[in-house]
Structure 1
Amino acid sequence: MLAAEALRLAAIEVLCPTAALVAGSGFPTLAAEHVFDSRAAALQDLDQTATYTPTLALYTPAARSTRRGAHSDVLDTDAAATLEIIAELSTQCTEGDDTYADALGMADTDAKARLVLAALCAQVRHTLEWSAGGAMFRRLAVRIIGVSEEAHAVPQIGLRWSRVFMTYSCEVPDDDFSAGGMPEPLAGLAAALPATSYAKEKLTELAEAFAPSSPVPLEEIRIAAGVGRLPDDIDDGDATASVDTSED
């Protein structure tokens, strides 16, 4: 569902505003510019001078659209999407000859790292759910059904990482193709985004796949009014109504 993609792209713009990227300051979370679309932080993304780099990675793993009732219209639907945000304190790790980015291993006594990660998650919630800058996201998330946070840990063997899986379950507008071209809500989001934003760039590329098309004009209606029978041929209808398509 494209509405789920719109939800994620709106969240990326809210959590990493284009204006803040241009200014180099004014980011709403500790992750600053380290907000990634459908991927984890790579080694080159990290601040090599710091012990760890707060990062956010956004995914939309699930979406659905269901009819509101057995006799509802095809457009009368409820749509929902899941937005997953992985908040972590990323660091450089070395294993043998391999060097890679991963979440900081967290000792049970590392209270400072725990507080930093908790603060990052709280900033994400505040920015998306309550801040003035989050209005773009909330226009896509018609209703936030629930938010869950799960720490990444295997406590049975004493393994814990500075990583939290934040899951947003949201009601969203269903994809609407009635206007032709790029469907809503993608089209509306594209119009609202800053011209130089990452999300705008991606939607501009996607727009080429949705060239406007004109529906085939209605010319004639044929009706078979007999009881208990169907016409043998389309031209056997009992009544015919022609549609005048002239401009006069």
Structure 2
Amino acid sequence: MLAAEAARLAALEVLCPKSALDADGPYPTLAGHKVFDSRLVGIDDLDPTAKFTPVLALFTADSAAVMRGEAASFDDAEATSTLEIIAELAVASTDEAGEPFADAMPADDWDARLVLAALCGQVRRLLQYDERGWLFRRFVRRVVRVTEETFAIPQLGARWHRVTMRFELSLPDDVFVDAAGMPEPLKTLAALLPSGSPARNKLTVLAAHFNAVTRTPLAGVDFADPALDVGLTANME
């Protein structure tokens, strides 16, 4: 659903503004510029000089549009989506073959846990409270529920400094019209994103693939019943 994509892309701009990228800071979270859209952190994203690298990764977990009731019109739907934001303190690790990869830091450092908690708090504050989060809230009716789950295997007593934040969102539904161009709400988002933003550039390209809808003209309406020789025919030409 386009509304879910709009919410995620707006959140991405809030958590890592293009203006901060252009000026190399200041950034609104401890993750700095390491905020990724629909991908996890890679080994090349890590800071080799740091004990760990705070990172954020945004994903659209699910989306749906449900009619408001049995008598609802075709365009009267309640849209929902789950925005997942994975916050973690990433470190370099190696697999069985000795190949390096990025993984979450094992949860054996209470000080690091506080850093991770602060990062999660920054995310919630920006998206739900801070004035800088207006772009995200522009495309979200309300945040219904927020949950945070620490990555762990309790049976093995293993935990990592990775938290999956799930924002359950109520959204306005997608709006489709006959005119060519990107449907709402992505059309409005593209106009609000800063010039040169990768998301804005991509949306501009994709908008060209939404052609105008050509409808067959209505020739008339026939209420006649030939069998009974009664009725009414309205010629629209």
Measured against the shorter chain, the TM-score band is over 0.9
Contact 1:36 1:57 in 2 (8 A): yes
| Structure 2 residue identity aligned to 1:168 | F
| 1:106 CA displacement | 1.5
| 1:237 CA displacement | 9.0
2:104 alignment counterpart: 103
| Structure 1 residue identity aligned to 2:123 | V
**Whole-Å separation in 1 of the counterparts to 2:83 and 2:235:** 50
**Whole-Å separation in 1 of the counterparts to 2:123 and 2:189:** 20
**Whole-Å separation in 2 of the counterparts to 1:121 and 1:29:** 9
**Whole-Å separation in 1 of the counterparts to 2:49 and 2:86:** 23
**Whole-Å separation in 1 of the counterparts to 2:134 and 2:80:** 18
Residues 76-115 of structure 1: CA deviation (Å, up to 9, x unaligned): 11110110000000111123421001111121xx111100
| Structure 1 residue identity aligned to 2:88 | E
Matched position secondary structure for 1:134? helix
2:68 alignment counterpart: 68
Matching of residues 111-126 of structure 1 within 5 Å: 111-126=110-125
Moved over 6 A (4+): none
Matched position secondary structure for 2:112? helix
| 1:238 CA displacement | 3.8
Name the stretch that deviates more: 151-160 or 78-87: 151-160
Matched position secondary structure for 2:138? helix
**Whole-Å separation in 2 of the counterparts to 1:100 and 1:174:** 39
Matching of residues 82-97 of structure 1 within 5 Å: 82-95=82-95, 96-97=97-98
**Whole-Å separation in 2 of the counterparts to 1:49 and 1:237:** 88
Matching of residues 148-187 of structure 1 within 5 Å: 148-178=147-177, 180=179, 181-187=181-187
Are 1:42 and 2:30 matched, yes or no?
Answer: no
2:141 alignment counterpart: 142
**Whole-Å separation in 2 of the counterparts to 1:136 and 1:225:** 54
Paired residue total: 234
2:193 alignment counterpart: 193
Please tell me the root mean square deviation across aligned C-alpha atoms, in Å.
Answer: 1.7
Paired residue for 2:235, among 225, 242, 246? 242
Structure with bigger gyration radius: 1
| Structure 1 residue identity aligned to 2:211 | A
Name the stretch that deviates more: 72-81 or 151-160: 151-160
% same residue: 49
Contact 1:52 1:90 in 2 (8 A): yes
Give the TM-score normalised by structure 1.
Answer: 0.89
**Whole-Å separation in 2 of the counterparts to 1:196 and 1:121:** 28
Matched position secondary structure for 2:120? helix
**Whole-Å separation in 1 of the counterparts to 2:135 and 2:236:** 44
| 1:119 CA displacement | 0.2
**Whole-Å separation in 1 of the counterparts to 2:178 and 2:34:** 36
Gaps of 5+ in 1: none
**Whole-Å separation in 1 of the counterparts to 2:47 and 2:69:** 52
Contact 1:222 1:237 in 2 (8 A): no
Contact 2:224 2:233 in 1 (8 A): no
| 1:147 CA displacement | 0.3
Are 1:32 and 2:25 matched, yes or no?
Answer: no
Give the TM-score normalised by structure 2.
Answer: 0.93
